[in-house]
Amino acid sequence: MGESYGYRDAWPKAAEFPTVEAFHTATRKLIEARFAADGRPWAEVVHDRSLQLSREDFEQIEAELLGTGHRFEASAMVSYEEEPDKYNPPAGIADSGEQQTDEQGRRIVGSGDNVFAAADVEGTARYVSTVDRVMEWLTGGVPADTIAVIDDSGGTLTAPILGDFKAVVCMGGTVRSHLGILTREYNVPCLMNATLDGLVDESRVVVQYSKQAADAYADADTAESQRARIFELQED
């Protein structure tokens, strides 16, 4: 496409994620086809608004991607609730059926990257994935001992009540994400990029926030060894 436009290809490398690469490639091909069909030099068509891509164009690109059987990963539960057919189920409800335990016999139900080192936290895991739940807690108060389990790494959904959480577990983002920065400022222990396996809403857990803060630049093996674990507590 770069040669058709008369300049060096601006995208010599593939995108980091296949979904992004699929959208980029489809968009570039569509623009190139329209440019070729128009016949005018690029300098004459670049500002012609009649040739710009429309919402219908992007909906068609999305439909073609979904037609391959691909499903998106939800960055926030509102996406999944509004259009569930486009998205994979939330990661938090997955349960591999494996009963991994630590040396004390505690069942491991997840792990994540620790934003900052703090004391381990025992509390009740409560999923926070809808505006309705946030509004309920904003007006009536966050239940005591809440370890908030959040899908979206942006932090916008829970910002009004973030300081009332005992701790946070987020299934997206990194320790450098907005939510990680906010929890550090509020001094609320937080795991980012969490992988959950069988963690049920309202279950009692202990989260290993005493683990050293995750190194965002660590190699894969080191990063895995640094991950803090989440343990399910059995009722007596």
Tell me the CATH number at 136. 3.50.30.10
How confident is the model at residue 1, as a pLDDT?
A: 38
Q: Do both 102 and 201 map to the same domain? A: yes
Does a structural domain hold residue 119?
A: yes
How confident is the model at residue 78, as a pLDDT?
A: 66
Does a structural domain hold residue 87?
A: no
CA distance 89 to 48: 41
How confident is the model at residue 2, as a pLDDT?
A: 42
Residue 211 tokens, joined:
């683990």
**Sole residue written with tokens 């989440």:** 230
Does a structural domain hold residue 131?
A: yes
pLDDT, tens digit, 9 for 90 and up, residues 4-46:
444 345 556 677 778 888 898 899 899 989 999 999 998 888 8
* C-beta atoms surrounding 16 within 10 Å: 7
Does a structural domain hold residue 76?
A: no
Does a structural domain hold residue 43?
A: yes
Residue 146 sits in which domain range? Answer: 92-232
> Which pTM was predicted?
0.66
Q: What is the dihedral of CA 193, 198, 203, 207, to 10 degrees?
A: -40
Does a structural domain hold residue 101?
A: yes
Q: Do both 142 and 42 map to the same domain? A: no
Q: Do both 197 and 105 map to the same domain? A: yes
How confident is the model at residue 4, as a pLDDT?
A: 41
Q: Do both 33 and 144 map to the same domain? A: no
Residue 114 tokens, joined:
């620790």
Does a structural domain hold residue 84?
A: no
- Using the Cα atoms of residue 91, residue 93, residue 97 and residue 98 in order, give the sign of their dihedral: positive
Does a structural domain hold residue 142?
A: yes
CA distance 50 to 192: 44
Q: Which parts of 68-177 fold into alpha helices (H)?
A: 77-82, 131-140
Q: Residues of the chain whose pLDDT is less than 50?
A: 1-8
